[in-house]
Amino acid sequence: MLMNQSPINKVKYISIGLLGLIAFIIFWGCFYTVDSGQRALVLRFGQVQEVVSDGLHLKMPFIERVILVDVRTQKSHAPASAGTKDLQTVTTEVALNYHLNANTLQDTYTRFGLDVESKVIEPRIQEIVKAVIARFSAEELLTRRDSVKQEIAIGLRTSLANYNINVEDIQITNFSFSKAFDEAIEAKQTAEQNALKAKNDLDRIKVEAEQKIAMAQAEAETIRIQAQAIKEQGGEEYVKMKAIEKWNGVLPQFTGGGTMPFISVPAQK
Question: What number is the average pLDDT over the span 183-203?
Answer: 65
**Residue 226 CA: distances (Å) to CA of 121, 212, 239, 242, 253:** 90, 21, 11, 13, 32
- Among residues 77, 19, 74, 30, which one has the least CA distance to residue 56? 30
Q: Where are the domains of the chain?
A: 2-70, 74-177
Asked whether residue 3 carries a pLDDT value surpassing 80, the answer given is no
Q: What is the pLDDT of residues 18-58, one digit of tens each?
A: 776 666 666 666 788 999 999 999 999 888 899 999 888 88
The answer to whether the predicted template modeling score (pTM) of the entire model surpasses 0.75 is no
- Among residues 40, 44, 80, which one has the least CA distance to residue 60? 44
Residue 214 confidence (pLDDT) = 79
Report d(CA 165, CA 74) in Å as an integer.
11
What's 119's DSSP letter?
Answer: I
Report d(CA 21, CA 29) in Å as an integer.
12
Q: What is the mean pLDDT of the chain?
A: 79
Percentage of the chain exceeding pLDDT 70: 68
Question: What number is the average pLDDT over the span 94-99?
Answer: 94
- Cα 40 to chain centroid distance, Å, stands at 40
Residue 248 confidence (pLDDT) = 62
Residue 1 confidence (pLDDT) = 45
- Among the CATH numbers 3.40.1050.10, 3.40.50.720, 3.30.479.30, 3.30.70.2500, which is that of 74-177? 3.30.479.30
Residue 219 confidence (pLDDT) = 75
- Among residues 72, 77, 96, which one has the least CA distance to residue 168? 96
Q: What is the pLDDT of residues 132-169, one digit of tens each?
A: 999 999 888 888 989 999 999 999 999 999 999 999 99
Residue 156 near residue 124, CB atoms below 8 Å? yes
Residue 2 confidence (pLDDT) = 45
Question: What number is the average pLDDT over the span 67-81?
Answer: 92
Residue 34 near residue 55, CB atoms below 8 Å? yes
Residue 120 confidence (pLDDT) = 94
Q: What is the pLDDT of residues 214-251, one digit of tens each?
A: 787 777 777 777 677 666 665 566 566 566 666 666 65
Burial class for 164, CB neighbours closer than 10 Å (0-12, 13-18, 19+) = buried
Residue 48 near residue 42, CB atoms below 8 Å? yes
Report d(CA 82, CA 20) in Å as an integer.
64
